[in-house]
Amino acid sequence: MSARSRNLQQRRHVAAPEATDMETLRFLNPETAREIAAKVGTPAYVYSEAELTTQAKTALAFPNAYGLTARYAMKSSPNAAILQVLDPRS
């Protein structure tokens, strides 16, 4: 079996995160996660505006060559609310 096949096989057997894993999140606690799930259903994607802003500033401050600028890849998550956080002019 090739290394690639073993890697793919291992990925299939990764267990779902335990409820205790939520305790490591910085902005979401289990109670709030349950409230959100009850309100909007699951799966639900919950984002921290503060974390999005911090990560965007970090990416924009990264040294770059030839005047390149970090851009948000809308294809990965075409969420209007995220776009508004990242570009307040929109």
pTM above threshold 0.75: no
Among 18-22, 47-51, 76-80, whose mean pLDDT is lowest?
A: 18-22
**Considering the chain, what percentage of its residues have pLDDT values greater than 70?**
70
User: Is a pLDDT exceeding 60 seen at residue 67?
Assistant: yes
Within 13 A of 42's CA, how many CA atoms are on the CB side?
A: 6
Instruction: Examine the pLDDT at 29 and tell me if it is beyond 50.
Output: yes
Residue 4 pLDDT grade (very low, low, confident, very high; cuts 50, 70, 90): low
